[in-house]
Amino acid sequence: MDFSAIQGLWGGLEVAIQPVNLLLCFVGVVLGTLVGVLPGVGPVVTISLLLPLTFGLDPVAALIMLAGIYYGAQYGGSTTAILLKLPGETSAVLTCLDGHEMAKQGRAASALGISAIGSFVAGIFGTLVVVMLAPVLVSVALKFGPADYFSLMFVGLIASVLVCQGGMLKAVAMIFVGLLLGIVGTDVYTGIARFSFGQPELRDGVNFVVVAMGLFGFGEIIANLEQGTVDGKLAQKVRNAFPTRQDLRQSWKPILRGTGIGAALGVLPGAGAAVGAFAAYAFEKKISRTPQRFGHGAIEGVVAPEAANNAAAQTNFIPLLTLGLPSGAVMALMAGAMMIHGIAPGPDVMTTRPELFWGLIASMLIGNVLLLFLNLNLIRVWVRVLQVPYALLFPLILLLCSIGIYSLNNSVFDVGLTALFGVLGYFFIKTGCEPAPLLMGFILGPMMEEYLRRALVLSHGDVTVFVTHPISATLLGVAVLIITTLVWRPAATVFRKASGAAPAQPTTSIPADTGA
């Protein structure tokens, strides 16, 4: 199988280096980088706009370009997350946390550089995983049933407590706010709209970009304006243009770990884009000797989720290309693009259209190389954006965000809703509540509910499915382990206090949280 894969890849390279395909690959990754950078305009909107235009193209060329937009946007998405704390994509939320802190410390260029490198490593590795292991991985992915997905989401939710720096109580509270927000929308099983207040726009729930843009981006802008002179706060400190040797030494292991986690979770058609990035971030923080640096510009906290995004962006193609099952909106569009050209995405694409399958994969290798050069060279341009006076910059950001948000559903309602979330975001900044756990609850909650109910429907109401299915049982074991470690230290502190010994690190809020 390995040999045929290499042979196939070789044939694919021949397809991918044809001038037209090479050009469209370049167009795709440039467009992808741009829409990734533009806040709110994501690959979903871009690909939907361009899909009709690819009608007249050769299907291989069309798919090469559309795929380039998708993984190119993963590179570009980190740019606004780092520079402006604007996560355009679900997966970029984590990059905001430490990436923007690095920018505030004058290390914007390093952060951008190291994310480009991390993205590159992950992109190449992810593509090779697609080449070598696609058929094996997809059969593993199919073993994930609703019960297993539920347990995976549960681990994710528990792990999101790890992501925050403040008190555990606030983090848990924010997760619950996120879960509540996630309830808004149509119930999958009954079709009844929940908390839509008669608004047809709320029938499909609140869009992730609306919440993320409002809480992070808009909230941050309001807070910045309140402080008065923000000019040059970020710009003046830009020193080193590229990551230092120290940065690289600190990053290479997190890059590899993030790549592994992202690649593995990207294969699962039902897991969604954010889970890999969150898992990679939480894992790095958990195993770090200095977890307190996270959230204050830890480079590991930037590269691990970035690598996870990009690895997942490549392995996302596995369920689509081997089974015709798209995981998420972008892959559904890719499936649509194939269907427009009369190709039914499915198990036989690899054999009936090898030039398409291998051509697409080979183009990803080329595309990732192009993206590395493109992004390393663009850093100087992006960093200059920060030198624009804030009085000019912030209206521009708001305008671009509003256009992006409008373009999601061609809906003015969403723009207004984002403004509301902006006010809420400002309130959270003032009260020291972190929006990241909220977003995690918001993303995972609806999926968890859907899988929980489906697992119970399919097991005819038997709750033991969660522990009798081996994958689910293992994941729940991991969750229990995380809870134990979360509670252990504070509990030990309480015990030591009780026995009269002075606690090593008297953190006042944590013992109180243990009871909650």
Partner 1 sequence: MNLKLTTLALALTTVLAAPMAAHAEFPEKPITIIIQAAPGGSPDILARIIGKYMSERVGQPVIVENKPGGAGNIAAELVANAAPDGYTLLGTSDSLSINQTLFTDLPFHAETSFAPVIQAISAPQVLAVNEDIPANNLQEFLALAKSKPGEVSLASPAIGTTGQLGVLLLENITGIDVTPAVYKSAQPALTDVLGKHADGIIVTLAPALPHIKSGKLKALAVSPSERSAALPDVPTFVEQGVPEFNFTSWQGFVAPAGTPADVIAKLNTEINAVIADPAARAQLIEQAFEPVGGTPEELGEVIKSGITRWAEVIKANNIPPVN
Binding site for partner 1 (CB under 8 A): 47-48, 51-52, 55, 142-146, 186, 188-193, 200-201, 203-204, 269-270, 319, 323-326, 329, 332-337, 339-340, 342, 344-348, 409-410, 450, 454, 457-458, 460
Nearer to partner 1, 290 or 410 (CB): 410
| Tokens (6 digits) for 364 | 């990803």
Would you call 142 exposed, middle or buried from its count of C-beta atoms within 10 A (0-12, 13-18, 19+)? middle
Closest CA to 299 of 109, 488, 152: 109
Q: What angle do CA 232, 236, 238 make, to 5 degrees?
A: 130
Q: Tell me how far apart the alpha carbons of residues 363 and 14 are, in angstroms, rounded to a whole number.
A: 10
CB of 39 to partner 1, least distance (A): 21
CB of 278 to partner 1, least distance (A): 21
Nearer to partner 1, 188 or 481 (CB): 188
CB of 160 to partner 1, least distance (A): 23
Phi then psi for residue 233, to 5 deg, are: -60, -40
CB of 316 to partner 1, least distance (A): 13
CB of 242 to partner 1, least distance (A): 39
Nearer to partner 1, 118 or 146 (CB): 146
CB of 445 to partner 1, least distance (A): 15
Give the DSSP letter string of 407-421: HHHT-HHHHHHHHHH
Nearer to partner 1, 173 or 456 (CB): 456
Nearer to partner 1, 338 or 436 (CB): 338
Q: How many other C-beta atoms lie within 10 A of the C-beta of residue 412?
A: 12
Classify strands 185-186 and 193-194 as parallel, antiparallel or unpaired. Answer: antiparallel
Nearer to partner 1, 344 or 396 (CB): 344
CB of 193 to partner 1, least distance (A): 7
Nearer to partner 1, 187 or 231 (CB): 187
Q: Tell me how far apart the alpha carbons of residues 459 and 469 are, in angstroms, rounded to a whole number.
A: 11
Nearer to partner 1, 13 or 142 (CB): 142
Quick check: helix, strand or coil at residue 185? Answer: strand
CB of 511 to partner 1, least distance (A): 43
Nearer to partner 1, 116 or 444 (CB): 444
Contacts 24+ apart (CB under 8 A), 413-419: 413/199, 413/201, 414/201, 414/207, 414/210, 417/206, 417/210, 417/214, 418/210, 418/213, 418/214, 418/218, 419/214, 419/218
CB of 197 to partner 1, least distance (A): 12
Half-sphere exposure of 499 (CA within 13 A, CB side): 7
Region of 297 on the Ramachandran plot (φ > 0 left; ψ -120 to 50 alpha; else beta): left
Q: Which residues of 29-56 are buried (b: 16+ CB within 10 A; e: fewer)?
A: bbbbbbbbbbbbbbbbbbbeebbeebee
| Residue 185: strand pairing partners | 194
